């Protein structure tokens, strides 16, 4: 199966978790991928596991730094001759109730998720417009649909990604560039598995399918949106939640 054979992709936050699964899925289906992560060493280790130079390369990148994001996009073009797919996945959490959350914790999460996604979308779409084609996939969260207690920063950022996706998609659709968003629910990663057992079980109880999702299941949806199978989709939001909050 080679749904993105020969295409060049960038995935941010790609060293581990959902980002790693997305990068691995794109490589599996024939893409050459630049794995970007604030942890450059972890990104390099993951890139080596996925095939190393010629298939997967690693770049240390702070997605809140405009120059760093521009350099990331240039690296993909210089390395692979094009930029066909961008997945804005990088993110952090700084959870606290609104009463206890310091302003810095709110701004930091907004900056990484929302500003980082805007910078990536802006830089990538500039290249893709010149090419006449490209697909951008922005990773939101079901928290951006319903809001999570203790996550006013995260929920606001993830909701903002939806609005950004729709507005940007309207700006570049005429140039052959598609922009879509994915909203994962509870996905089995190291971060979610660190939850207290009672919290984990309470969240699972809200899922009609009765289980957590796997990172690969999010990656499958991203692959679909990056491929020609979704050639008439732009500005959409796909929930990968097992039916939670439908």
Q: Is 94 helix (H, G, I), strand (E, B) or coil?
A: coil
Predicted TM-score (pTM) of the model is 0.97
* 65-122 per-position pLDDT tens digit: 999 999 999 999 999 999 999 999 999 999 999 999 999 999 999 999 999 999 999 9
CATH 3.90.420.10 fits 8-238, yes or no: no
Which H or E run includes 40?
helix 40-50
- Residues annotated as catalytic are 154
Under-70 pLDDT residues of the chain: none
* 213-224 per-position pLDDT tens digit: 999 999 999 999
pLDDT at 84: 98
pLDDT at 32: 98
Return d(Cα 13, Cα 25) in angstroms, integer: 15
pLDDT at 75: 98
Using CA atoms, how far residue 126 sits from 46, 221, 225, in Å, is 28, 24, 19
pLDDT at 186: 95
């Amino acid at each position: 199966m080679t749904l993105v054979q020969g295409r060049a992709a960038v995935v941010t936050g790609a060293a581990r978790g959902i980002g790693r699964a997305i990068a691995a899925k794109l490589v599996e289906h024939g893409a050459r991928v630049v794995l970007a992560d604030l942890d450059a060493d972890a990104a390099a280790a993951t890139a080596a596991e996925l095939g190393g130079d010629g298939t997967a390369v690693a770049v240390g990148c702070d997605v809140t730094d405009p120059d760093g994001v521009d350099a990331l996009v240039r690296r993909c073009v210089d390395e692979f001759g094009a930029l066909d797919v961008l997945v804005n996945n990088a993110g952090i959490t700084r959870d606290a109730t609104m009463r206890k959350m310091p302003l810095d914790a709110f701004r930091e999460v907004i900056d990484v998720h929302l500003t980082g996604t805007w910078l990536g979308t802006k830089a990538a779409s500039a290249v893709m417009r010149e090419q006449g084609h490209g697909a951008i996939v922005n990773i939101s969260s079901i928290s951006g649909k319903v809001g999570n207690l203790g996550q006013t920063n995260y929920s606001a950022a993830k909701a903002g990604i939806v609005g950004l996706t729709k507005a940007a998609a309207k700006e570049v659709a005429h140039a052959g560039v598609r922009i879509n968003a994915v909203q994962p629910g509870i996905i089995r990663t190291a971060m979610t598995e660190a939850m207290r057992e009672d919290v984990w079980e309470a969240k699972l109880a809200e899922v009609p399918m009765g289980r957590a999702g796997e990172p690969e299941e999010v990656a499958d949806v991203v692959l679909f949106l990056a491929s020609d199978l979704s050639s008439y989709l732009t500005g959409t939001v796909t929930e990968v939640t097992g039916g939670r909050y439908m």
